[in-house]
Amino acid sequence: MIVAHKIQLLPNNVQSSFFSQACGVARHTWNWAYREWERQSRNRNPIIIDNYGDVVGYEKRKPVDDNGALIPPVSGLALKKEFLALIDDQWPWMRIVPSHIYHQPFADLQSAWNRCYKGLAEKPVKKHKGKAKDSFYLANTCITIEGRHVKISKLGQVRMREDLRFSGKVMSARISRTAGQWSISVAIEVPDVVPVHNQPTVAVGVDMGVNTMAALSTGEMRANPKALSKNEKKLKRLQRKLSRQLEAAKIKAGVAPGQAIPRGTRIEFSGRMQDTKLKIQRAHGRIAGIRSNAQHQLSSELTKRFGIVAIEDLNVKGMTASAKGDAANPGKNVAQKSGLNRGMMDVGFGELRRQLDYKAKRTGTQLAVINRWFPSSKTCSVCGVVQEYMPLNIREWRCPSCGAQHDRDVNAAKNIKRIGVIQLQEPQIQKEVKRVGKLNPIRKRVSA
């Protein structure tokens, strides 16, 4: 099994400059390979133009050259051989970094196009400086980790914020920059073991919410840190400042106030604009860090304490859909719904479920996901009577049948726990994924 550990780096100025150059080398290689892939694909599969001059498709045939030889399909390996034959004449400055940095983009591009051809992802795009994420790849022959230092080929030792958490063979690493901070993600091969939980029969139900991040069936509540709402004022102030600076830069470039930037016009970012942009990135990084810390603490606690964790199969995309409607059917309470959507995305239901999924496999916890249409909030956890109507503003209610007093979220968590335990006792249903050339593959239920 391969696991990854991401650690913040503490480079000096020389090392930061080396990392920036390495990112530039990786970006230049990707863009060259992307352009060549597009050009060779067009030459291999000529376009079909109708009588009106519109492109209607590409010829599906096996192309041959002037001598009748079959032209091979475009591949990352072939492009890599062409690139390495030109590097010493055209780009000798790329030799200052380890060779794996300009070898790996070809494999990454091949993987991206394969996913695009299968309909599993969108078409890959070029990488622009300042817009694309800065990162580069290092093979295990280029790095050596000793305590809190990583030794990189052609650079030397770089300090790390903490020690490597896992012990095993280092397979590869990727160094990336986020909000001006460098981090290294190390992939390590660890032995496969069958985890055994120390409390396999102890179950808990989890009801995720906005005001309360998670309500447990034990009656415990986990508060939502509300990272975005608490830092929103500072973020808005910085964004307004950058907007004013951008308007001044547009006027300096000859663009009228309020007018969209014409295609091909270059706007020069001053030093102060760069500082404001970096402050915005750091504010976003702080918000994401607070949210991620709360998610990791909750998911680790649940998988270590309980052998069975039951959650709901939430449709996050549908829950956070806009309510504005269209011109024919305008929406109602659009501002209130947008605020609710912002609150749900600030919690990160999808990321929390992803963390529970992989951490449950590591600790031996069973994760039960119940049907999203089960009325967990409206069902009495004592007698099982389902209420007909219960709006969101009702947080506490009394069952008219048995008289039990309920907290809305804790009652839902108790029902989720009960259904999750029953679901695990039934024969398991596996999902066989069949790829049919769509971004959302059709899934067929097959009995185990």
Q: pLDDT band at 447, cuts 50/70/90?
A: very low
CA dist list (Å): 327 to 324, 330, 409:
9, 6, 37
φ and ψ at 258, to 5 degrees?
80, -10
Lowest mean pLDDT among 31-35, 93-97, 256-260: 256-260
pLDDT digits (tens, 9 = 90+) for 92-145: 999 999 999 999 999 999 999 999 888 888 999 999 988 899 999 999 999 999
Q: What is the mean pLDDT of residues 273-296?
A: 93
**Single pTM value for the model:** 0.81
d(CA 177, CA 372): 38
- How would DSSP label each residue in 282-344? HHHHHHHHHHHHHHHHHHHHHHHH-SEEEEE---HHHHT----B-SSSB-SSHHHHHHHHHHH
Side-chain-side CA neighbours of residue 302 (13 Å)? 35
d(CA 420, CA 311): 8
- What was the pLDDT predicted at 262? 86
d(CA 257, CA 104): 44
Is 310 within 8 Å of 206 (Cβ atoms)? Answer: yes
Q: pLDDT band at 88, cuts 50/70/90?
A: very high
- What was the pLDDT predicted at 445? 46
Edge to edge, what strands does the sheet with 156-160 contain? 135-139, 169-178, 181-189, 2-10, 156-160, 149-152, 143-146
- What was the pLDDT predicted at 325? 76
